[in-house]
A and B are shown apart, each in its own frame.
Chain A
Amino acid sequence: QVQVIQSGADVKKPGASVRVSCKVSGHTLTELSMHWVRQAPGKGLEWMGGFDPEEGEAIYAQNFQGRVTMVVDTSTDTAYMELTSLRSEDTAIYYCATDSVEVPATMFYWGQGTLVTVSS
């Protein structure tokens, strides 16, 4: 069974950057794509992007192009998402989720979420 454990909550000032990590166990990130989804308070789910191990690169949603970087360390099966130039609207719970080998682009296994608060 795949388990995904995320890093803890973080508080950042406007303009700063945040990095969230996700450690996978029970499978390897050499085969699974890691997606990142965020949810602002009281709002819906928003896909930010995902790292495709076959392509060896990330694909980002247009809304985050230029501000987000997603990487994977396959030696530790840990994925990282960095979001820069933070503003108050980036206050949200950030989730990572993996797909399955058979069904890509589908979020089977979710992390517990990481609350990122952007406040001066």
Chain B
Amino acid sequence: QSALTQPASVSGSPGQSITISCTATSSDVDDYTYFSWYQQHPGKTPKLLIYNVNDRPSGVSSRFSASKSGDTASLTISGLQAEDEADYYCSSYTRTSTVVFGGGTKLTVL
């Protein structure tokens, strides 16, 4: 079981906003150092969406935003589009100098 827990699936209709949560279940990751989110379309390479909790790399749409509250981090996608249908993973550096991924969340655009 991962030290980061995500819902297995979420869904939303085009134009809506959805939020994917990522909860730390281990004290190794509870300070969210170097916390990031990745998007992976079927059969494709993962892509960095968010780093340092809520920064976006150049080229990533502003429809993607993230935040942290307590032991839970969240990725929000606003103005949902069909192309957002993908798997989303959270990730964090840990106190033991390793990296962990959440189990992943499958986003379905209805």
Contacts and interface: CB of A to CB of B under 8 A. Distances in A.
A103 B46 CA distance: 18
Nearest to A100: B51
A45 B89 contact: yes
Contacts of A44: 2, 87, 89, 101-104
Interface stretch (A11-19, A66-74, A83-91, A105-113): A105-113
Contacts, number: 62
B93 A95 contact: no
A61 interface: yes
Interface residues of B, number: 25
Interface in B48-70: 48, 51-52, 57
Contact of B97 (A59, A95, A107): A59
A108 B91 CA distance: 12
Tell me which of A46, A47, A50, A95 has the highest count of chain B C-beta atoms within 10 A of its own C-beta: A47
Interface of A: 35, 37, 44-47, 49-50, 59, 61-62, 95, 97, 103-108, 110-113
